[in-house]
Amino acid sequence: MVELGLLSGTKSTKSVHVSFRIPYSTHWGQSLLVCGSEPVLGSWNLKKGLLLSPVHHGDELIWFGTVPVPKGFKCEYSYYVVDDNRNVLRWEMGEKRKVLLPEGIQDGEVVELHDLWQVGSDALPLKSAFKDVIFRRKLSLDIETPLGVIRSTLDQEDSVLVHFKISCPNIEEETSIYIIGNTLKLGQWNVQNGLKLSYSGESIWHADCVLPKGDFPIKYKYCKYGKGGIFSPETGPNRDIVLDSSNTQPRYICLSDGMLREMPWRGAGVAIPMFSVRSEADLGVGEFLDLKLFVDWAGESGFHLVQLLPINDTSVHGMWWDSYPYSSLSVFALHPLYLRVQALSENISEDIKLEIQKAKEQLDGKDVDYEATLSTKLSIAKKIFAQEKDLILNSSSFQNFFSENQDWLKPYAAFCFLRDFFETSDHSQWGRFSHFSKEKLEKLVSKDSLHYSIICFHYYIQFHLHVQLSEAADYARKKGVILKGDLPIGVDRNSVDTWVYPNLFRMNTATGAPPDYFDKNGQNWGFPTYNWEEMSKDNYAWWRARLTQMAKYFTAYRIDHILGFFRIWELPEHAMTGLVGKFRPSIPLSQEELEKEGIWDFDRLSCPYILQEFLQDKFGASWTFIASNFLNEYQKNRYEFKEDCNTEKKIASKLKSFPERSLLQDEDKIRRELFDLVQNIVLIRDPENPRNFYPRFNLEDTSSFKDLDDHSKNVLKRLYYDYYFHRQENLWRQNALKTLPALLNSSDMLACGEDLGLIPSCVHPVMQELGLIGLRIQRMPSEPDLEFGIPSQYSYMTVCAPSCHDCSTLRAWWEEDEGRRQRYFKNVVGSDMSPPGRCVPDIAHFIIREHVEAPSMWAIFPLQDLLVLKEEYTTRPATEETINDPTNPKHYWRYRVHVTVEALIKDKELISTIKDLVSGSGRSHPGGQAERQASHKSAVATTEKQQIASSKDKVHLATPLNAVAQETLTVR
């Protein structure tokens, strides 16, 4: 948040004193430092900044420091936590603070700045999701007094001019901000006589007041005072202003009081992939313009947010593999799949209209037919383009779009042309075009080229996608509904981005995730890892451009696999599974370190450990056949892989082309067993430095480890635990604090991080510091001793959800494991009765209510989980509603909702059920002050004890037993 800006006077050689005062608790060896833009504060050189001194005031530790400055002094500054050598340990978030000295200040006087440390969460109400959507007012407030204007004058010697400043983005029309306090000038706690603040823009309210020194110490609070006499004081203890007892008491005190303290705002949302939406107008898949209808349904149901999966172009392979939305062909281009061809022109010919109608009937299937839908849309779009390309390409709207986006649009169009020309996206196969250059690009997209019309077609498609998504995004903002996008952690190996910026990627590696809830063998996503060192040279410009582009359409976003910004699970390019990887960055085990511990046989530990008995156990009577074709016996009864099959990819390739495949009775089983053998190692040797090693994940599970002597086992277990749980924490924290702020500062979207999986201890403190909202899935608790998360105990800075796109739906999860279902019913529902075998509406109602009543800022529900609230929407097999199977790298992403948006809008019964759940929980929902007050009353009234009645296939579940205390969650 920006500090107080006061009117500057004319410059003078005479000096005054600026005193900094900020409460902040530190640990031993830490200090606070002020650094700013002027030499007196170090000119942003932390070694020359002003070191503050601590003083205890009651339970608070207050840091002070004073510098002499000339009259008319102007400066930007920030606070930092440093160690004894002035190395930065932490810095405050938000914009740089600003100070200007007040006009008329006398030589030698003191201006005292009372600041509060800024954390990332302080700025969340100023993000576009809140500022431009949820807190959007029909009538914008007029600026009454700009920051920097002081109307009061300081004449009396025994008075102090106090300038108050507070941020309050959530305010109703005809409502003002007042200060009330224990002094006459502040109304003696009477709001009618309190000090009214002026609006200065950007959600900032301020006022100045001359107070007698005899009134100090002063107790005060901010409050809202609105039409009808509605009076709402801020929460929490009284604020106070104290005067230092020294002889240099300030004549001017500038208060920056942060955010007006209100009960935490809590909202609800619905998640659905763009491709899964079904409407009466679409051609086989959800389309951007369908979002307008979906926003209508969401808003009417009480939701403030619609969350999508990635919507970037993924057209890499030219087949259904491209349905995977996290493997971008371009991180800037939108997917042509979501184009509404009917909206391309107002003058579509009758024959094309008939073709569209026929396609609509043919593609209206249970699931998305990715290949047929995309090819049909592009075929129709080409015909319309041929008829009106000159009209569109010469229009001012297209010219503006092209001018603003040409930096990515030209390479994208050229890539698409070359992909189709060479019939592959593997740009290493493109001859002289394999290596990108701007000169080659300009020739490819030149108006004089024979293929210029093809290039323009790609421009044309992206232009209309932009127009259609912009229309939907603008509509959502006006309706008070946030559109939340998704930022994938990776890009496809054969993408525009790796072609244009190969230096930003480590192309000989792949990203994934270590074994976790989703897959015991880990995951291999196939994306190249990032060259963070290279990216840092231009302050992560590629990332910043991505976020800037997303912010054109979204006001919130989900950072996919946020752990990747701390460290990524890096795999060799030849890996197919995700098991034998290492973290990057990480501090390896050096050969010297291992030798000191008595570990020396590095080939034994880092090469596959294969004994004859292992082969006999795995392959039975066929072991000799497998050994003769895939292995060499290099010692008696000890084997190694042949050169042509010593990696996972080589094994798979050899099996596929095996001349005697008919002799392989179960090829999948043989591949799994051979993979298990090639993974049977204890240490992974660093290919870039053979004297460095990394402990293999779950090394104790390997037969290689089990055959070691006790000393080696004990040493390796200790080093393993240190590597995965202690050794890297500071490194990973520093890495995240370099990369994540570049993302967060490049747009004003609300950021949420997907923080599931193996979570290092440094992750949550960094997310809290940066104001990043985490994710909580009840079936995947972060607490190791819990089988089911407890929503009532989630922290405010979280999104809670019963499921997500990467796991089974609520209904499928309930029905797939009887034992787990019984434990949930006993331990969470609190019933000793037998649970129903199906996830009936009452079960869904209970679980959804648990989540909407959680303290989390957001409760977001996959649409499939909401549809379970009505019996008629549960006729489809539950397993068919799962969006992704993370254990299958070739999963077909094709789920379509079986009911149209139009039908959902007409289903007032379902809307009423959902709305009652949301409003009865104390969560905010689209509507005015009256609706919010009604919601609050409903939430407070919901305190009756849970009643459970069970029958064979029906359970009645009222308020959960572990409902959150409503007084802590009231939304004002």
DSSP single-letter state for residue 368: -
Over the chain, what is the mean pLDDT? 90
Q: What is the average per-residue pLDDT within 306-313?
A: 98
The answer to whether 569 and 583 have CB atoms below 8 angstroms apart is: yes
- Name the strand (E) or helix (H) holding 758: none
Pick the closest to residue 489 from 767, 740, 807, 129 (CA basis).
740
pLDDT at 663: 64
For residue 219, the model assigns a pLDDT of 97
Of the candidates 591, 576, 624, 550, the residue with the CA atom closest to the CA atom of residue 694: 591
Q: 422: buried, middle or exposed (CB in 10 Å: 19+, 13-18, 0-12)? A: middle
758 C-beta neighbours (distance < 10 Å), count: 16
Find the helix or strand (DSSP H, E) in which 902 lies: helix 901-906
Q: Which long-range contacts (CB under 8 A, 24 or more apart) does 412-415 make?
A: 412/313, 412/330, 412/332, 412/333, 412/458, 412/462, 412/496, 413/445, 413/455, 413/456, 413/458, 413/459, 414/441, 414/444, 414/445, 414/455, 415/329, 415/330, 415/496, 415/499
Express each pLDDT in 802-851 by its tens digit.
999 999 999 999 999 999 999 999 999 999 999 999 999 999 999 999 99
Check residues 949 and 738 and name the one with the higher pLDDT.
738
> What pLDDT score does 148 carry?
67
Q: What pLDDT, on a 0 to 100 scale, did the predictor assign at position 972?
A: 23
pLDDT tens-place string over residues 99-136: 878 777 888 889 999 999 998 888 899 899 999 999 98
Of 131-135, 154-158, 289-293, 916-920, which gets the smallest average pLDDT?
154-158
Burial label, 27 (beta-carbon count in 10 A; 0-12, 13-18, 19+): exposed
% the chain with pLDDT above 70: 92
pLDDT at res. 228: 82
Residue 965 confidence (pLDDT) above 80:
no
> Do residues 651 and 664 lie in contact, with contact meaning Cβ atoms separated by under 8 Å?
no
| Higher pLDDT among residues 710 and 7, named by residue | 710
Residue 296 has pLDDT above 70, yes or no: yes
Whether the pLDDT of residue 701 is over 60: the answer is yes
pTM of the model: 0.90
CA atoms within 13 A on the CB side of 733: 16
pLDDT tens sequence across 346-390: 999 999 999 999 999 999 999 999 999 999 999 999 999 999 999
Tens digit of pLDDT for each residue in 315-333? 999 999 999 999 999 999 9
Confidence at 247, pLDDT banded by 50, 70, 90: low
Residue 740 CB partners (closer than 8 Å, separation 6+): 562, 565, 766, 770, 772
Half-sphere exposure (CA, 13 Å, Cβ side) for 151?
A: 11
Q: Check: CB of residue 112 under 8 Å from CB of residue 19.
A: yes
Beta bridge partners of 551: none
State the average pLDDT over residues 523-531.
93
Residue in this structure with the two tokens 């009076």, named with its chain if needed: 231
> Predicted confidence band at 877 (pLDDT cuts at 50, 70, 90)?
very high
Give the pLDDT score at 940. Answer: 33
Q: What are the helix (H) ranges across 339-451?
A: 350-363, 370-393, 396-422, 438-444
The pLDDT of residue 137 is above 90: no
Q: How confident is the model at residue 949 (pLDDT cuts 50, 70, 90)?
A: very low
As a whole number of angstroms, the distance between CA 481 and CA 272 comes to 14
Residue 870: in which H helix or E strand, if any?
none
For residues 663 and 745, give the distance between their C-alpha atoms in angstroms, rounded to a whole number. Answer: 59
Residue scoring higher pLDDT (148 or 638): 638
Helices 290-300 and 452-478 cross at an angle (nearest 10°) of 20
**pLDDT score, position 927:** 67
Residue 198, pLDDT above cutoff 50: yes
DSSP string, 262-275: -SPP-EEEEE--GG
Q: Which residues have C-beta within 8 Å of that of residue 653, sequence separation ≥ 6?
A: none
Sequence letter at residue 206: H
Residue 209 tokens read as 């007041």
Return the pLDDT at 15. Answer: 83
* Tokens 């190694």 belong to residue: 640
* pLDDT at position 945 over 60: no
pLDDT at position 966 is 29
pLDDT over 70 (residue 5): no
* Averaged pLDDT, 436-448: 96
The answer to whether the beta carbons of residues 870 and 907 sit under 8 Å apart is yes
pLDDT surpasses 60 at 74: yes
pLDDT over 70 at 943, yes or no: no
| Higher pLDDT among residues 27 and 457, named by residue | 457
Residue, of 8 and 584, whose pLDDT is higher: 584
What pLDDT was estimated at residue 584? Answer: 95
pLDDT at 925: 85
Contact status, residue 758 vs residue 569, Cβ threshold 8 Å: no
Structural Rg of the chain based on CA atoms: 31
pLDDT score of 961 more than 60: no
**Alpha-carbon torsion, ordered 930, 933, 937, 942, to 10 deg:** 100
pLDDT tens per residue across span 464-491: 999 999 999 999 999 999 999 999 999 9
Q: What are phi and psi of 417, to 5 degrees?
A: -65, -50
- Alpha carbons within 13 angstroms on the beta-carbon side of residue 124 total 24
Q: Which residues contact 596 (CB under 8 A, 6 or more apart)?
A: none
Whether pLDDT at 183 is above 90 = yes
Q: How confident is the model at residue 947 (pLDDT cuts 50, 70, 90)?
A: very low
pLDDT at 891 exceeding the cut of 60: yes
| Cis status, amide bond into 217, omega within 30 of 0 | yes
Buried b (16+ CB within 10 A) or exposed e, 810-819: bbbbbbeeee
Q: Residue 179 CA to chain centroid, in angstroms?
A: 37
Number of other CB atoms surrounding residue 355 within 10 Å: 17
Degrees, nearest 5: CA angle 806-809-810: 130
For residue 929, pLDDT over 50 is answered with: no
